[in-house]
Structure 1
Amino acid sequence: MAFDYPVILSKRGERFLASFPDFPGCYGEGSDRLDAMEDARTEGVNCILQELEEGNPLPPRSLLDELCLREGEEAVMLTLTLPREENWSWLG
């Protein structure tokens, strides 16, 4: 199962940050854009799994053109693929 959510990419000093506006506190970081996006992908999957395991609904996905970006920021969609499980009990 896969979900698409936007991330906002920004450079912080010598590092890159990829944060999820729809999951406050969920972000990835790395030495370049690719590393930050891969770290964000892992963290995003963990955020989704935690929400589902707790029985919480997932937040609606923001649209890229609706995000307020600061100078130097870029918004991109990131696909988060959940690991396959035998029992998808949270699906109902």
Structure 2
Amino acid sequence: MLTGKQKRFLRSEAHHLNPIFQVGKGGVNENMIQQLTDVLEARELIKVSVLQNCEEDKNVVAEEIVNGTGADLVQVIGSTIVLYKESKENKQMKLPN
């Protein structure tokens, strides 16, 4: 569970990132969860874009991704979801306490 200070730090770090995944009409599936898990292990902090043709609400999509990957939800802003998961092998970020 992230503290407010850690979330603020991660939001500032994610500001310049571009979304690398898009959730569309098909919603979230097992294949996407696996790919997100792999990318989170490599990058730790990512953005996911929810397209307009997605039938589910962006908050539901965020919850499904968090439950599937075990990542922490940093922020849902507009149609963009920011996720963080500490890497086991490739730790890059030092979070504030």
Give the TM-score range, shorter chain: 0.3 to 0.5
Whose Rg is larger?
1
More helix per residue: 2
TM norm structure 1: 0.33
More strand per residue: 1
